[in-house]
Amino acid sequence: MNTQKKILFLNPPGTKRYIRDYYCSKVSKAYYMPQPVDLLMQTGYFAERGYTVKVLDAIIEKKTPQSVFREVLAFNPDLIISQCGAVSFEEDLSFFNYLKKQLPNTQILSSGDIFLEDPVYFLQEYNWLDGIITDFFSDDSLKYFDSKYDGIVGMVFKVNGEIISKTGLSSSKIISLPRPRHELFKNKLYRMPFANAYPMATVLTNYACPYPCTFCIMSTLGFKSRPHDDVIEELLFLKELGIKYLYFSDQTFYVVKNSTEKILDFMIDNNLNFQWVCFSRVDILDEDKMRKMKEAGCNVIMFGVEWAEDHYSDKYKKQYVISQVRNTFEIAKKVGIKTMGTFLIGVPGQNEDSIKSTVDFAIDLDADYASFNIAVPRAKTSFREEAIDQGLISPHERIMDQSGSFITMGTGLVNPMRIKQLKNYAYTKFYFRPNYLAKRLLNIRNYHEFKSHVREGYYILKNMMN
């Protein structure tokens, strides 16, 4: 056992409820905050090796920078694995500059959307940063720490002052990871707006996404999945840990059919009795699949609907049409699973009427929940190239937030200030309908749901007023 080496997994502090993980940073629009999955999935590698591992999630614990500094200095880690975000980078930069001065011999690695477009630039520019993790699903951070550089495929890092870039996609499509160390996280603090039981935990059965949506970073990361036996082992541990609700953080749940069905069958046959939520696609799930998901405990499915017009789905390679969206939402209602549609506001060329028709479509779908996100030009996407080509953003623009706490760009027809107003219009029109509010209140089944509804409503109102 190599317990003398200490590894700290750190989600740094912030003035807002920043979600920095999975290369898609944003401000929590309400009160939700899942485990930082980038950190979670790497904990098993180091714990299995015998290193002393500590997790410090300063966002969920609401810690100030000063209290985090004290705690980190007391632990005195040899390696910090952290996160930064495009939404929070100015704060992240100040925090890590100071931390590195206090711990000059501690190596600091980070993942984050801010780094993906030009990781070499950030390593040249910022002395506190020793390496950038571009694939948190791999054991590259462990290989880096053990100085086994030849096997790295998803990092850019410094060795004796030289910057080494190894960012090719892994050739392996099935990756076995050591069990993520959920016990190191303060599970009782994490929240999802659909959870009807606590404590909750995040589970990842696959990484990235095989679909080519051009506005999304996930198609560029290289899709991989875990063996179903690994996931089942994790679920059994979570059951022992007392977890009651799961957030399957897959970008597309059920995309690997055989493996997913083995996991669901195990959950059903062994009465694991988790409740859970996931993301999926309307062209993947049919009635039989949703019935199996319902039996295994699924209470909400989130679907990326995006727009009310098929031509945007064609343009941005969403690869399904509005009629499929309607059909799948109707099936979910028939099966008894609640739905959330996610919608994208502010793509280049979109006018105000198009945005309003998207809101009307969300209502017409009779979705149980809706999330109206602001289009942002993510690194490495062709969507970003389009925005730059049309002069909607500068090539140097890196700070952004899809939740809309600030607006990065207009559409060419609608300016950023008006987009923010339309986002508030969308939430007001969807969530504050009298019949919708009555339905939500009548469907509350327990104290956890009541408390969650009150909290989420408060934070939605609060964010609309900012």
The full set of domain ranges for the chain reads: 6-166, 192-465
Predicted pLDDT of residue 465: 59
Secondary structure letter of residue 269 according to DSSP: H
CB 285 within 8 A of CB 345: no
Superfamily of domain 6-166: Cobalamin-binding domain (3.40.50.280)
C-alpha span between 128 and 98 (Å, rounded): 9
Task: List the structure tokens of 123.
Answer: 């390593």
**Three-state SS letters, 9-73:** EEECCCCCCEECCCCCCEECCCCCECCCHHHHHHHHHHHHHCCEEEEEECCCCCCCHHHHHHHHH
C-alpha span between 361 and 319 (Å, rounded): 18
According to DSSP, the β-strands at 275-280 and 298-306 are parallel
Tell me which fold the domain 192-465 belongs to.
TIM Barrel (3.20.20)
Residue 309: HSE in the Cβ half-sphere, 13 Å Cα cutoff: 14
pTM here is: 0.93
Predicted pLDDT of residue 399: 85
DSSP 123-174: HHH-TT--EEES-TTSSHHHHHHTT-GGG--SEEEEETTEEEEE-PPPS-SB
Residues of the chain short of pLDDT 70, as ranges, are 1-3, 171, 445-466
According to DSSP, the β-strands at 131-133 and 107-111 are parallel
b (16+ CB within 10 A) / e for 426-441: bbebbbeeeebeeeee
**Burial (0-12, 13-18, 19+ Cβ within 10 Å), 421:** middle
From 124, 132, 133, select the one nearest 161 (Cα to Cα). Answer: 124
Predicted pLDDT of residue 463: 60
C-alpha span between 435 and 246 (Å, rounded): 30
C-alpha span between 300 and 297 (Å, rounded): 9
Q: How far apart are the first and last CA of the chain?
A: 51
Predicted pLDDT of residue 459: 60
Token match 């996609």: residue? Answer: 169
From 170, 269, 268, select the one nearest 224 (Cα to Cα). Answer: 170
Task: List the structure tokens of 151.
Answer: 């096997």
Angle separating helix axes 416-431 and 434-442, nearest 10 degrees: 50
DSSP 337-374: -EEEEEEEE--TT--HHHHHHHHHHHHHTT-SEEEEEE
Backbone angles phi, psi at 247, to 5 degrees: -110, 105
> In CATH terms, are 6-166 and 192-465 the same topology?
no
